[in-house]
């Protein structure tokens, strides 16, 4: 049969090539080519939309927003421009306008799954948890075979403390993709959360049989069979966070009312009102500490094991450099007296034992510098370090952490109780934030 697909017009081809350059990070040639195209087709709304991508890739959120507005002005009612602008506005906390645009886009393109995904993201970014859930459920009804939307809903349901509901969605995906790792892990985690140890062991065995050499599979296999690994292996951290980053981790965090990085940025700016300091952000993730801090007159160095999380963080253009290494290695290998501040938010829950962490943080700090980190709280009647069965995260006892800081040599240790570190299973998860100061030079 002859191929009857129409040839794309030259403008479409040129725009595709420019998008390729942007994706490859070749921003200078992309900008030149875009200028030329813009002269040829000044009223084509696709041109400013590619300009928006270019500005986004350059970390210029204001420029990207302007470009998306231009596209929408040229093509009012165009759902692609509506949803792109909505996403940008939601990221800038302009939730009302963002939600309105998302609703318009959904009404205009009810059969476009990308618009649905965009709208779900807009709701997440805009911190509308109920609408996020409602749109994710609607998305699964309208696009039952879209694994991305269904996986997102499953994760959201787990986060909302509804593992049984999540399980049904994971099972649906499993029936179509029986070897999909994240789905198998999801099924395993739902079984563990609902206390179905037999099923958990079965899913763990399945994962293990598929990937016997895989550290991830080994770790979950050990847990599902009642053992307690000492720490999470790097492969497990990367496995979890590479998946999250690719699928709206940042947004999920926001949906779960996670405000620790914002609080940490506030403390840093109280300590350094002139914004002159160098910061080492351990387990920087998607770069929320940097985002809340904004630009400083020093360097922010991000350390994280997950490449995908670092990619997200790099988009903000606030961090000077990233190192994709284990925080334990970074702590060991960084020279002494190098930073005015070190942050580590929601990371030590994966690291566990703090004995290699606290003394090295002290060593790396300059005199008078601060180590600011968050922990999930173990009760004072529990062990100093506890591995939580349901979440597989470590909780620390505040009094033990304070003692460790003082014994290492920090002279001022402030512990701020956080009754709701964030939500877990719809419930506040108690934690605490530590601000420990290295003594000033004698
Ligand atoms: C929950 S996120 C928190 C990210 C960020 N600090 C924040 O508060 O938004 C945890 C991050 O720590 C990273 N991480 C966990 N254990 C790590 C380790 N041992 N070494 C390096 N990064 C680690 C993960 O890859 C993930 O990006």
Regarding the beta carbon of 242 and ligand 1, being less than 6 Å apart is answered no
How many domains is the chain partitioned into structurally?
3
> What pLDDT was estimated at residue 245?
61
pLDDT of residue 95: 93
Q: Residue 421's pLDDT is what? A: 85
Residues 196 and 336 in one domain: no
Centre of ligand 1 to C-alpha 440, Å, is 29
Check residue 418 and give its pLDDT: 93
User: 294 and 425: one domain?
Assistant: yes
Considering the domain architecture, whether residues 213 and 257 belong to the same structural domain is answered as: no
Is 385 contained in some domain?
yes
Range of the domain at 318: 251-437
Cβ of residue 283 lying under 6 Å from some atom of ligand 1: yes
How far, in Å, CA of 136 to CA of 129, rounded? 10
Q: What is the DSSP-derived secondary structure letter of residue 291?
A: H
Helix (H) or strand (E) holding 323: strand 321-323
Same domain, 408 and 290: yes
* 144 alpha-carbon distance from chain centroid: 25
Judge if the beta carbon of residue 129 lies within 6 A of ligand 1: no
Task: Report yes or no on 119 lying in a domain.
Answer: no
Per-residue pLDDT at 249: 47
User: Among candidates 99, 422, 121, 117, which has minimal Cα distance to 257?
Assistant: 422
Q: Say yes or no: CB of residue 117 within 6 Å of ligand 1.
A: no
Instruction: Report DSSP state, residue 370.
Output: E
Query: Ligand 1 within 6 A of 347 CB?
Result: yes
- Note whether residue 403 is domain-resident: yes
Residue 344, domain CATH? 3.40.50.150
CA quadruple 273, 274, 280, 286: dihedral, nearest 10: 70
For residue 233, being part of any structural domain is answered with no
If you measure from the C-alpha of residue 285 to the centroid of ligand 1, how many angstroms do you get, rounded to a whole number?
5
Contacts of 117 (CB under 8 A, 6+ apart): 139, 148, 149
Q: For every one of its 442 residues, what pLDDT tens digit does the chain have, with 9 covering 90 and above?
A: 445 566 778 899 999 999 999 988 899 999 999 999 999 999 999 999 999 999 988 878 899 999 999 999 999 999 999 999 999 999 888 999 999 999 999 999 999 999 999 999 999 888 888 899 999 999 999 999 999 999 999 988 987 889 999 999 999 999 999 999 889 989 998 998 898 989 999 999 999 999 888 888 888 888 888 776 767 888 878 877 776 664 544 455 555 677 899 999 999 999 999 999 999 999 999 898 998 898 899 999 999 999 989 988 888 789 999 999 999 999 999 999 999 999 999 999 999 899 999 999 999 999 999 999 999 999 999 999 988 877 778 999 999 999 999 999 999 999 999 988 887 766 788 999 999 999 997 5
Tell me if 81 is assigned to some domain. Answer: yes
400 CA to centre of ligand 1 in angstroms = 22
Q: Ligand 1 atom 2: the closest Cα is on which residue?
A: 285
* Token pair recorded at residue 354: 């703090």
For atom 14 of ligand 1, the residue with the nearest CA is 283
Mutate to test the pocket of ligand 1, among 232, 305, 354 (most ligand atoms within 8 A of CB): 305
Average pLDDT, the chain: 90
Tell me how far the alpha carbon of residue 374 lies from the centroid of ligand 1, in angstroms.
12
Alpha helices in 283-397 (DSSP H): 288-293, 307-314, 327-333, 348-351, 358-364
CA–CA separation, 152 and 164 (whole Å): 15
Q: Is residue 160 part of a domain?
A: yes
Ligand 1 pocket, mutate which of 304, 349, 371, 394 (most atoms under 8 A from CB): 304
pLDDT reported for residue 248: 42
Ligand 1 and 244: CB distance under 6 A: no
Q: Is the CB of 291 under 6 A from ligand 1?
A: no
**Nearest atom of ligand 1 to the alpha carbon of 253:** 9
Whose C-alpha lies nearest to ligand 1, atom 10?
347
> What's the CA-to-centroid distance between 253 and ligand 1, angstroms?
13
Q: Which atom of ligand 1 lies nearest, measured to the CA of 288?
A: 9
Query: Is the domain of 221 the same as that of 102?
Result: no
Handedness of CA 409, 415, 421, 427 (dihedral sign): positive
State the distance from the centre of ligand 1 to the C-alpha of 242, rounded, in angstroms: 11
Q: Does any domain span residue 239? A: no
- Relative to the CA of 231, which ligand 1 atom is closest? 19
Same domain flag for 336 and 268:
yes
Ligand 1, atom 1, lies closest to the CA of 346
Ligand 1 pocket: which of 235, 318, 350, 394 to mutate (most atoms within 8 A of CB): 350
**Is there a single domain that holds both residue 281 and residue 378?**
yes
CA of 140 to the centre of ligand 1 (A): 30
The pLDDT of residue 255: 56
User: Is the same domain home to 103 and 175?
Assistant: no
Q: Whose CA is nearest to atom 8 of ligand 1?
A: 345
172 and 106 both lie in a single domain: no
Same domain? For 49 and 190 the reply is: no
Assess whether the C-beta atom of 376 lies below 6 angstroms from ligand 1: no
Q: Within this chain, do residues 400 and 272 fall inside the same structural domain, yes or no?
A: yes
336, 364 contact by CB (below 8 A): yes
Q: Do residue 271 and residue 420 come from a single domain?
A: yes
Residue 127 lies in a domain: no
238 Cα nearest atom in ligand 1: 25
* Amino acid 1: pLDDT: 42
Q: Give 417's contacts (C-beta < 8 A, 6+ positions apart).
A: 377, 398, 430, 432
| Distance separating alpha carbons of residues 230 and 207, to the nearest angstrom | 21
Phi then psi dihedrals of residue 419, to 5 deg: -60, -25
Sign of CA dihedral 228, 234, 239, 242: positive
């Amino acid at each position: 049969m002859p191929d009857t697909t129409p040839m794309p017009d030259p403008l479409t081809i040129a725009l595709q090539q420019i998008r390729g350059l942007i994706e490859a990070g070749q921003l200078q040639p992309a900008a030149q080519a875009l200028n030329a195209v813009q002269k040829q087709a000044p009223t084509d709304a696709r041109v400013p939309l590619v300009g928006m991508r270019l500005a986004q890739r350059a970390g210029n959120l204001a420029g990207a927003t302007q470009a998306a507005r231009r596209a929408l002005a040229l093509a009012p009612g165009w759902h692609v421009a509506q949803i792109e602008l909505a996403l940008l506005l939601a990221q800038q906390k302009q939730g009302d306008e963002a939600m309105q645009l998302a609703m318009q886009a959904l009404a205009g393109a009810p059969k476009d799954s990308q618009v649905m995904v965009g709208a779900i993201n807009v709701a997440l970014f805009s911190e509308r948890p109920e609408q996020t859930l409602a749109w994710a459920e609607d998305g699964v009804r309208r696009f039952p075979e879209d694994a991305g939307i269904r996986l997102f809903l499953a994760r959201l349901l787990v986060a909302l403390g509804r593992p049984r509901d999540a399980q049904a969605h994971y099972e649906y995906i499993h029936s179509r993709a029986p070897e999909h790792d994240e789905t198998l892990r999801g099924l395993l985690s739902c079984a563990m959360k609902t206390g179905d140890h037999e099923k958990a062991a079965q899913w763990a065995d399945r994962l293990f049989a598929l990937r016997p050499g895989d550290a991830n599979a080994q770790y979950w296999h050990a847990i599902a069979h009642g053992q307690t690994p000492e720490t999470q292996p790097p492969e497990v951290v990367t496995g979890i966070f590479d998946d999250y980053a690719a699928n709206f981790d940042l947004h999920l965090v926001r949906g779960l009312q996670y405000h620790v990085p914002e609080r940490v940025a506030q403390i840093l700016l109280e300590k350094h009102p002139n914004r002159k300091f160098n910061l080492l952000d351990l387990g920087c993730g998607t770069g929320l500490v940097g985002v809340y801090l904004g630009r400083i007159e020093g360097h922010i160095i991000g350390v994280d094991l997950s490449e995908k999380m670092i990619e997200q963080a790099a988009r903000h253009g606030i961090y000077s450099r990233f190192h994709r290494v284990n925080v334990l290695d970074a702590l060991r290998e960084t020279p002494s007296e190098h930073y005015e501040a070190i942050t580590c938010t929601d990371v030590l829950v994966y690291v566990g034992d703090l004995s290699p962490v606290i003394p090295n943080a002290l060593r790396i700090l300059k005199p008078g510098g601060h180590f600011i980190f968050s922990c999930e709280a173990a009760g004072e009647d529990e062990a100093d370090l506890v591995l939580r069965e349901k979440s597989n995260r470590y909780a620390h006892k505040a009094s033990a952490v304070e003692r460790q800081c003082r014994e290492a040599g920090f002279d001022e240790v402030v512990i701020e109780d956080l009754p709701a570190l964030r939500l877990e299973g719809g419930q506040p998860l108690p934690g605490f934030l530590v601000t420990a100061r290295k003594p000033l030079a004698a």
